[in-house]
Structure 1
Amino acid sequence: MTDTVSFGYEDVAPEEKTQRVGAVFKNVASRYDLMNDAMSGGMHRLWKDRFVARVKPRAGEQVLDMAGGTGDIAFRLAKSGASVTVADINPAMLEVGMERAQERGIDGLVWTEANAETLQFPDRFFDAYTIAFGIRNVTDIPKALREAHRTLRRGGRFFCLEFSTTTWPLFGDVYDAYSHKLVPKLGKLLANDEDSYRYLIESIRRFPDMPTFERMIGEAGFVQTKVEPLLGGLVAIHSGWKI
């Protein structure tokens, strides 16, 4: 770890980022769908469907959905009959997820508070590890990737869905204008929280590009790493295998 890490466009001490990210997600937990709709124009639902289709969860498998507190990915994974553990560092996000599961009549999910950098699970426990729109908020990303590798069985698979940098120039310019100028204003209008939405947009801009993040996954020990760009890389599905 370096002495500082990014929090949006600021460089802060690692412990400060952890605290401030926690505050952001405590603020937005009850408006999670609203937040994702604002940031993606509602397309996050289609991206999540495609993401879970790539994971190919199977009945009887043990799957860890990290940073999945509100259940969006877990609900999709559970349809396969897999045993899904939902882990999140933020209790407020987990509370929202458990309430949503109860409202939908979804039973059998395991909900647990956990830090992606220091997972409490044993070595070689899970068949698959998923994280959607959460890795960029982790303070020490390489450490979290190593923990993902540690907790996966041999033959286990890692899948990450995250905003990235589109390689479509004109589209990239349009989305930059939309995200930087309109999304924080929507946050103010719809959720009375402009600052949290501004951070979330800034955090996307500070996240490593697709080749860099793919290399980081490989450095954590994964093989056969792959990246699937969506909308030219505005969002990307990263994957790797443990052997």
Structure 2
Amino acid sequence: MTSLVQKKFGEAAADYAASSVHAKGESLKRLVALVRPARSWRVLDVATGAGHTALAFAPHVAKVTASDITEAMLAEARRLAAERGFGNVKTARAKADDLPFPDMSFDCVTCRLAAHHFGKPQAFASEAFRVLMPGGTLALVDNISPEEPDLARAYNHFEKLRDPSHGRCLSLTEWTKLLGDQGFVLAHSEEMDQDIAFLPWVTRMRCSAPTVARLEALLREEPLRSSLRPRMEDGGLTFTLREAIILARKPA
């Protein structure tokens, strides 16, 4: 049975391949710099989408497995890998909370801008821990919720209105605890702003006109206005999300 995530992202696969947020966002370059991948590494990218994170790591490592549940996304990842001449990238159908790989298969597991779709983030963390080599690294990037519960609920409602397959963005505090509970040792965390152009953001998810109007209204109202800071830039509505970059190690 096709899940809501598969349906929504299957329809939008080509748009995500071309999305500047996913292909060139500052967190992507920063993630590679922080991880400092080794040439001998085997990397697993979970919920790869169009493969942008997998392809960012490919020049620096021996092999990258780009995994996703959506075949249309995997097709885009294969296309981009071929265009860029990366013969060390392969794709695999895989659920984030039930990875079809043996224990201790990878030196690094990455996941960028996807975990807010996971229905079972604890299971994802557990599976990442299982497939990592001792001493391996989980490198996670995702949008994060505000720490205040009421504001976090408003923010996640806003995200789910735009994309019904949205699960929940966790706060940085929640991620830190969740990973620790699964056995990881936190190595690094930081936050950064991610400026979002409103029109491409709603267009990627094929939002209806009434939904677009409601999203814009929510942006301009409290409590989201102060948090997401909507403004006009380059002739278009822009707002700002918060992203976290988290590196966690599996003990050696």
Match of 1:132 in 2: 112
**Cα gap change, 1:43/1:75 in structure 2, threshold over 3 Å: closer, same or farther?**
closer
Shift in Å, 1:69: 3.6
Partner of 1:82: 62
Cα shift readout 1:118-144 (whole Å, capped 9, x = no counterpart) = 111111111110000111111211011
**Secondary structure at 1:58 match in 2:** coil
Q: What amino acid does structure 2 have at the position aligned with 1:22?
A: Q
| TM-score with structure 1 setting the length | 0.73
Q: Distance in 1 between matches of 2:23 and 2:132?
A: 30
Conservation of the 8 A alpha-carbon contact between 1:149 and 1:242: yes
Q: Are the equivalent residues in 2 in contact too, given 1:65–1:131 (CA < 8 A)?
A: yes
Alpha-carbon shift at residue 110 of structure 1 (Å): 1.6
TM-score (norm 2): 0.70
Match of 2:190 in 1: 228
**Which SS does the other structure have where 1:228 is aligned?**
strand
Q: 1:147 to 1:138 in 2, by over 3 A?
A: same
Equivalent pair of 1:155/1:241 in contact (CA under 8 Å): yes
- Cα distance in 2 for partners of 1:58, 1:155 equals 13
Structure 1 vs Structure 2: percent identity of aligned residues?
A: 28
Match of 2:9 among 25, 32, 40: 25
Secondary structure in 2 matching 1:234: strand
Query: Hey, which bits of structure 1, 4+ residues long, moved more than 6 A?
Result: none
RMSD: 2.8
Q: Distance in 2 between matches of 1:43 and 1:23?
A: 21
Residue number among 138, 162, 177 corresponding to 1:215 in the alignment: 177
Say how many residue pairs are matched: 198
Alpha carbons of structure 1 residues 220 and 44: separation in structure 2 relative to 1, 3 Å = farther
Q: 1 or 2, which has the higher helix percentage? A: 1
Instruction: Determine the C-alpha separation between the residues in 1 that align with 2:161 and 2:10.
Output: 13
| Cα offset, 1:104, TM superposition | 2.0
